[in-house]
Amino acid sequence: MPYQDSIAAEYRKNQTAIIDAFQSIDCRVVLGSPGIIDCVPGWVKTAEGTQKDLNLALSRFRNINVEIANTKKVAFADIFQPMLTADLAAKRQYGADFKIAGKDGVHPGLAGQLIMAYGFLKGMGVSGDLGTITYDEVTGSVGTTQGHLVLEAEKGKITLRSGRIPFSPGPGALDRDDSIRAGLAQVPFDDELNRFILRIQQPKAQNYKVTWGDQSKEYTARQLVDGINLAKDFDNHPLVGAFQKVFEAVVRKQEYETRQIKMLVHGPEGAADVDSTFALTEKVRDPLEKAVCNSVQPIQHVIEISASP
């Protein structure tokens, strides 16, 4: 419904109480704002107001969260503003059917989920620095930052073993709101949170070709001296498969967590004995969590840098 002071006061009270509860047990708190809606959901029979009315209300609740976060000295994750600006930009590019907040107005597809993740990772203060590879063309030496090991380097062909894997969903449509790649195109996720940098020192040529897996890109020497973001420029590189294994392990864990909470903890089992239900279901969830950690494995790959005409 449209903004009301009484609802805002209750919202402020409950948000503050939640933060107090977490802080009382020494938890780090990241307070996320509401997102946006893309239409008034038809299945909410008591809904009042227009889409504009409700988004204006959500923007004011977002501002309340800023005030609470400042007062309670906790981190703030802005979800509303990135979703709103991305939604407007995507609609200008691809039409009104592109809905960052989801086809039903409130349940985002993969593009919207990516933008929500962007907001929370920014709020958490994630650095986004996944490593730098530096190739000196005169000496032939290659330097790396932590997480990447040079196995072999000869005439611009660099074989690496990487233990840090960039966010790599692979190719995808830019004009579909169910595409992760579409979400990446609407926010500076790669620039701010997903930087796997390749640099060249002492270049001998004016232009270069960089090949990573089956893809090649052309760059000027100046671009390579400044550094290019491999994770951003290459969408089908050799680390995509390694990332997919992590992604699938996370999906399996989340699918069970949905069943654990929605069907069991909040079902007749939880109503009968919530502590026992949690204890039993955690025995199932724990190996799924371990599988996520174990899915991150070092992978060997090759980057080739060669002069172009």
Domain with 39 in it: what CATH number?
Answer: 3.40.50.1110
Averaged pLDDT of the chain: 96
Structural domain includes residue 296: no
For residue range 289-305, list pLDDT tens digits in order.
Answer: 999 999 999 999 999 99
Closest CA to 112 of 211, 35, 10: 35
For residue 227, give both structure tokens.
């550094």
Closest CA to 130 of 211, 270, 243, 207: 243
Q: Where are the beta strands (DSSP E) in 9-128?
A: 30-32, 75-77
Per the structure, the count of domains in the chain is: 1
- What pLDDT is recorded for position 238? 97
- What pLDDT is recorded for position 132? 98
For residue range 102-152, list pLDDT tens digits in order.
Answer: 999 999 999 999 999 999 999 999 999 999 999 999 999 999 998 999 999
Structural domain includes residue 83: yes
Least confident span in 30-34, 42-46, 92-96, 237-241: 42-46
- What pLDDT is recorded for position 42? 81
Structural domain includes residue 288: no
Beta carbons of 190 and 114 less than 8 angstroms apart: no
Question: β-pairing, 207-212 with 299-307?
Answer: antiparallel
- What pLDDT is recorded for position 294? 97
Q: Where are the beta strands (DSSP E) in the chain?
A: 30-32, 75-77, 129-136, 142-144, 148-154, 157-162, 195-201, 207-212, 215-220, 228-229, 299-307
| Residue 21 domain boundaries | 5-124
- Inter-helix orientation angle 274-295/240-258, to 10°: 180
For residue 86, give both structure tokens.
């991305």
Percent of the chain's residues with pLDDT above 70: 100
pLDDT class for 47, splitting at 50, 70, 90? confident
Structural domain includes residue 31: yes
Beta carbons of 35 and 80 less than 8 angstroms apart: yes
Structural domain includes residue 98: yes
Structural domain includes residue 24: yes
Structural domain includes residue 45: yes
Q: What is the distance between the alpha carbons of residues 218 and 278, in angstroms, rounded to a whole number?
A: 54
Per-residue pLDDT at 97 exceeds 90 = yes
Structural domain includes residue 278: no
Confidence (pTM): 0.92
For residue 164, give both structure tokens.
């840090």
Q: What is the distance between the alpha carbons of residues 136 and 141, in angstroms, rounded to a whole number?
A: 5
Question: β-pairing, 30-32 with 157-162?
Answer: unpaired
Mean pLDDT of 270-287: 97
Q: From the DSSP assignment, how many helices (H) and strands (E) are in the chain?
A: 11, 11
pLDDT class for 43, splitting at 50, 70, 90? confident
pLDDT class for 205, splitting at 50, 70, 90? very high
CB atoms closer than 10 angstroms to residue 82: 26
Percent of the chain's residues with pLDDT above 90: 96
Mean pLDDT of 18-32: 97
For residue range 210-263, list pLDDT tens digits in order.
Answer: 999 999 999 999 999 999 999 999 999 999 999 999 999 999 999 999 999 999
